[in-house]
Amino acid sequence: MSKELNVDIEKYIRDIALPKLYGQKFVQKSLLLQSGGQYKFDNVSEDENIVAIISTSPGRTPEGKQATENLQKLRQNVYWATMIEHNPKIIVVLTEQSMVNLVKEEKKKDRFPKEIEVVKVKLPD
């Protein structure tokens, strides 16, 4: 997937899908971390009670193997979100069913935080 298409998809999710699902606007914002520092998140609800992590990456490689790098990138983003001082609801928004399946597998094995909500967004044609 091209970088331009990926940016367009993330913009659609942030500007249209997330407000429709959660009833409020999402913006890019720096939030205070438990360690005292700050980190910029791409998708924070206006009331700062929801942080969304968007991934358009598949959970499988073209060869059918687990997409480990994609999963690690998602885990890294989840890590930063779990460090937010005020403990917002964290949602992972996925566009690829193979990544949804992979995250569900990881949750069953206790290798992905169970409290994090996973949402699959269907993209417009």
Q: Give the pLDDT of residue 4.
A: 75
Q: Give the pLDDT of residue 110.
A: 97
Number of domains into which the chain is organized: 1
User: Is the pLDDT confidence value at 102 over 80?
Assistant: yes
Cα(22)–Cα(7) distance, integer angstroms: 21
Residue 29 falls inside a structural domain: yes
User: Is the pLDDT confidence value at 2 over 70?
Assistant: no
Q: Give the pLDDT of residue 1.
A: 61
pLDDT, averaged across the chain: 95
Q: Tokens for 37?
A: 């520092």
Residue 26 falls inside a structural domain: yes
- The tens digit of pLDDT for each residue in 18-32 reads 999 999 999 999 999
Residue 40 falls inside a structural domain: yes
In the predicted model, what is the mean pLDDT of residues 92-106?
A: 97
Residue 28 falls inside a structural domain: yes
- Nearest-Å Rg of the Cα atoms of the chain is 14
Comparing CA positions, the residue from 51, 34, 47 lying closest to residue 92 is 51
In the predicted model, what is the mean pLDDT of residues 102-125?
A: 95
In the predicted model, what is the mean pLDDT of residues 32-49?
A: 97
The structure's pTM equals 0.91
Q: Give the pLDDT of residue 70.
A: 97
Q: Which domain holds residue 109?
A: 3-120
Residue 125 falls inside a structural domain: no
Q: By percentage, how much of the chain surpasses pLDDT 70?
A: 98
Cα angle 16-21-23, degrees, rounded to a multiple of 5: 85
